[in-house]
Structure 1
């Protein structure tokens, strides 16, 4: 007899079927017991005659196989004829995962991550996250992008600075990749023109905040033959609109369970140059501590301003100063750059912009940043062979998920977080 999933039981009324899954709840009423069985597709009530089937000592989360007849009164249920324990639970569960809410602090939840993921709401988070990644790729493939897979062990960092995880690579020194940026540009120059990647990146940042991770999933894209950063911003607007539409259709159950309020993008996303945003923050909110950048409080306040004025949850901040952007960023007038961040509900979720495509300009910019061009020889050489004007962006998948679901801590939207203190599980 083949296994049937809970979601398909409505198609098997009055039939005998086999289910396999976890025991989520047990309720005994005399000689009858009601067992809630859960599999990956949902849960169903199983009615057991305890005079015929022994369930004494059966623990929650035991993995079982049940066979029975599918019946329907108010809702579908299974009249059990046999119950077989596949794998029993040996000890008391460290967290109660079968309540409406997980009543444990975040550290306890993360320390028992594989167990906490069985909780219906926690489980739903990562189905939503999977849908976001899937729809990201779908949209871009429809726009002529090719998916690529770049190395995560590299000889130099793409972002400059010292925020690199060093590792021993045989007789050489190597690092974990901060970004696939160099390889994205090389692939554009290799003739693919439009590429994307979904992969892990690593930042050896010492801070340990609710919005930072040391390993996260980056949704990256790069595209050739652009005029400037606005082409990339326009693409991201359409991309996010598609991702939200797919999410609404494919994850309706999960979104309702988590009471998530999806934003709506019905027109172009508001765009404000960073110098203008700083001026707004100074004049409207009294923030006098900003000069060439915007801090987390500034991101939240400018989002409040945009929400009130434009009724938008999204905001493009553009034209960051040269000294605040990596060496490959295309310069603009007044020591600014053709770059942008996308702020979503008070948090930056995207960094992007136009890249330098001229060899001499890129080499000069490296030197201005205090970098040795010889250290980036393989990357730099690519620009001698004819590189088209191009740009791209990177979206933090966990940040996007957390903001969509209203989480205050990014770790709630991370399967197995890696931060300053957490290396397990």
Structure 2
């Protein structure tokens, strides 16, 4: 009988271990994928790809290459005879199979290598491994259709997406999504520090929070259902339970847009907070969250930022302007007539971003008090002028990345607004239950993760910052 007692210590080391400096001059074992091989004759450079980056290994022609398996321990005995030790002080059981020709070591083979760590300032991480043995764990069945070992993929976006499982191995592509990881990590860590509780809400719902026709409809055991457009109803519900909640999860929009800014499935970073004094509390929380995220990226993702030549924006303060005034400002400065008084057109968003960059040096701007007719029924109207709502969008370099605001929390008030819009309250009885039995003043927001990443990295298409995009034409890979 065997029992699992937790993670067992492996004899292989990780890149972070090598960078600690504790292993210089020692024999270590390391696994990874062969990113590229540079054959220099008697010596070749084998570059391994690890999760944290690339590791340079130097192989002389005489260094053996084994197939994994077979129980041959000759290399281990040789290491013992020479008194060499691996990282944890124990000799490695290599369990090697037969030696194979060096030509079978190909790019994208996965390997375990053994060698001596030495300092080398010209190597990717400032260290290299002088190999004594290579064990091949697997080899690719075919030659790669695209050279992912190049620093940057000089190919079309369509090719990158069609070959996504392969192209994501490229260093620049990997760096994008490491930074995206940092954004989500910062979002989550900051909100935990502010006493938010992380929740999980259903994505198969009876009715979308936004309404309209842009929903994916499902046959749910002979009942009508939809894929959720937003966790709005559920996160409001959970404010009545935990006061402050957040979620990072997918949402779905059946919009037939095929633009550089739209996706049919994207990741929404949502939070909702109770006991607010006004929607400005929500804006202030987002500002502080962005400050935390940018600080985290600068401290722990510097390598990726340098690789992608990213300069982080200043979020020490973010200007706010009303919807009506924002339209007037760009109309006056850029001689653009106001065509739609109820919404912002993409060109207007871009000009608003340009205006606040030129006038205030800010890459961000909150646009507040959107017209009531363009906001959902649960948005609280401005008591001073009910034509507008206590809501906002956050624009980042001219692109809307956030929508938020204060919600109606009074039962009679939300019933009245629904009826004024011709809605039947009975259809949302389960949602209205939370107001019937008491809710605090509350508000929240949703952030489009892929759009935020796109603007941060100065990409021109949101698909560049989506691991596996879903749009009107793409369902695979």
Bin of the TM-score, shorter chain as denominator length:
over 0.9
Matched position secondary structure for 1:417: coil
2:297 pairs with 1:244: no
Aligned-partner Cα distance in 2 for 1:142–1:185: 20
Alignment correspondent of 2:234: 183
So what's the TM-score if we normalise by structure 2? Answer: 0.86
Matched position secondary structure for 1:361: helix
Which residue, 101, 114, 135 being the options, matches 1:67? 114
Matched position secondary structure for 1:21: strand
Which residue, 254, 263, 276 being the options, matches 1:213? 263
* Contact 2:372–2:386 (CA under 8 A) maintained in structure 1: no
* Contact 1:221–1:392 (CA under 8 A) maintained in structure 2: yes
Alignment correspondent of 1:226: 276
Matched position secondary structure for 1:343: strand
**Is there any run of 5+ residues in structure 1 with no aligned partner, and where?**
none
> Based on CA coordinates, which of the two structures has the bigger radius of gyration?
2
Q: How many residues align?
A: 423
* Contact 1:398–1:410 (CA under 8 A) maintained in structure 2: yes
Alignment correspondent of 1:130: 181
Alignment correspondent of 1:371: 423
Alignment correspondent of 1:417: 469
Matched position secondary structure for 2:30: strand
Aligned-partner Cα distance in 2 for 1:131–1:77: 28
Aligned-partner Cα distance in 2 for 1:96–1:203: 35
Which residue, 320, 326, 335 being the options, matches 1:286? 335
Aligned-partner Cα distance in 2 for 1:424–1:360: 47
Matched position secondary structure for 1:393: strand
Matched position secondary structure for 1:254: helix
2:15 pairs with 1:6: yes
Alignment correspondent of 2:208: 157
Alignment correspondent of 1:38: 49
Aligned-partner Cα distance in 2 for 1:159–1:272: 25
In structure 2, relative to structure 1, the CA distance for the partners of 1:419 and 1:69 (3 Å cut) is same
Range with greater deviation from structure 2 (44-53 or 316-325): 44-53
> 1:150 offset after TM fit, Å?
0.6
> 1:60 offset after TM fit, Å?
1.2
Which residue, 357, 364, 367 being the options, matches 1:314? 364
Aligned-partner Cα distance in 2 for 1:239–1:71: 41
Alignment correspondent of 2:401: 349
> 1:71 offset after TM fit, Å?
2.3
So what's the TM-score if we normalise by structure 1? Answer: 0.97
Range with greater deviation from structure 2 (148-157 or 112-121): 112-121
Matched position secondary structure for 2:281: helix
Aligned-partner Cα distance in 2 for 1:197–1:33: 48
- Cα RMSD, aligned residues only: 1.3
Matched position secondary structure for 1:383: helix
Which residue, 152, 156, 160 being the options, matches 1:109? 160
2:323 pairs with 1:274: yes
> 1:334 offset after TM fit, Å?
4.5
* Contact 1:278–1:290 (CA under 8 A) maintained in structure 2: no
Aligned-partner Cα distance in 1 for 2:424–2:164: 43
> 1:64 offset after TM fit, Å?
1.2
Structure 1's consecutive aligned runs of 4 or more residues displaced over 6 angstroms after TM superposition are none
In structure 2, relative to structure 1, the CA distance for the partners of 1:300 and 1:360 (3 Å cut) is same
Residues 387-398 of structure 1: pairs in structure 2 closer than 5 A: 387-398=439-450
* Contact 2:210–2:376 (CA under 8 A) maintained in structure 1: yes
Range with greater deviation from structure 2 (369-378 or 319-328): 369-378
> 1:138 offset after TM fit, Å?
1.1
> 1:52 offset after TM fit, Å?
4.2
